[in-house]
Amino acid sequence: MTSINIIGTGNVAWHMAQAVYAAENYSLQGVAGRSEKSLEDFKSLARESTDIHKLTPSDITMIIVSDDAIKKVAEKIPYTSGVFIHTSGSVSINALESYVNHGVFYPLQSFSKVVPVNFKEVPICIEASSKSNLRVLEELGFALSEKVAPISSTQRKKLHLAAVFVNNFSNHCFTIAQELCDQQEVPFDLLRPLLNTTANKALSHKPSEVQTGPAKRNDQETIASHINQLSNPMQQEVYKILSEAITQYYGKKL
């Protein structure tokens, strides 16, 4: 049985803990967090500790904290045995180079505690300091997911950037759409079929091949009308920037 410690109690840590707990041949030994309250959700999954210094050595230690805290947290771990990994999409593997055995275990998904995730469908991007450590992470990856891919730090950094466009930026556009609907008391549900179609077309074709809309057509009259309807200056800027980007991108191809 391979033992695992998790340091962190955020959204990613929560879903990772559940996946590890359910995996065969792996045991969630301990979870370290900054407060008793943050550890409440983990009590049924592992022996918990509010003090990182109380963690006992495990075969794998997963540092699942904010990007800027990874190095600082790693320095506080009271042991050096086992493989040490972080789960960041944008931090280099070198952040853990003080440990002989180290790597990256990046789950490419958006995580919220209130939304269930089928971890078997989550791509796991791995990188390690040696071939033997890579095998350790590959075995763990396939124990949790059906999709595991070796990805370098350079590749992962760009992949994370792409993920921000796919998820974070698009979701903010959905948020703006929700607000526009709310302003006129129009059900957001009317947009759900369009949202699903947009996602499905992007998955079944190259996104650049299925772009539509006034910016693609360079329909400046409609664009101006839309901008005038937006009372929020920031939303106006978002619309202008995205429209200009689309118009220029396809203008070069016409």
What's the pLDDT tens digit per position in 209-225?
Answer: 999 999 999 999 999 99
The two three-digit tokens of residue 64, written as one number: 């699942």
Determine the average pLDDT of the residues in 9-21.
95
Q: How far is it, in rounded angstroms, from Cα 99 to Cα 88?
A: 17
Determine the average pLDDT of the residues in 148-157.
96
Relative to beta strand 124-128, strand 102-107 is antiparallel
**Residues 8, 45, 121: CA angle, nearest 5 degrees:** 75
pLDDT over 70 (residue 27): yes
pLDDT (0 to 100) of residue 113? 85
pLDDT digits (tens, 9 = 90+) for 59-112: 999 999 999 999 999 999 999 999 999 999 999 999 999 999 999 999 999 998
Q: Which residues contact 79 (CB under 8 A, 6 or more apart)?
A: 55, 56, 57
Domains of the chain are: 2-151 (3.40.50.720), 155-251 (1.10.1040.20)
pLDDT (0 to 100) of residue 254? 44
**186 DSSP assignment:** -
Determine the average pLDDT of the residues in 237-250.
96
Q: Is 113 exposed, middle or buried, given 0-12, 13-18 or 19+ CB atoms closer than 10 A?
A: middle
Is 222 in a helix, a strand, or coil?
helix
pLDDT (0 to 100) of residue 114? 84
pLDDT band with cut points at 50, 70 and 90 for residue 253:
low
pLDDT (0 to 100) of residue 150? 97
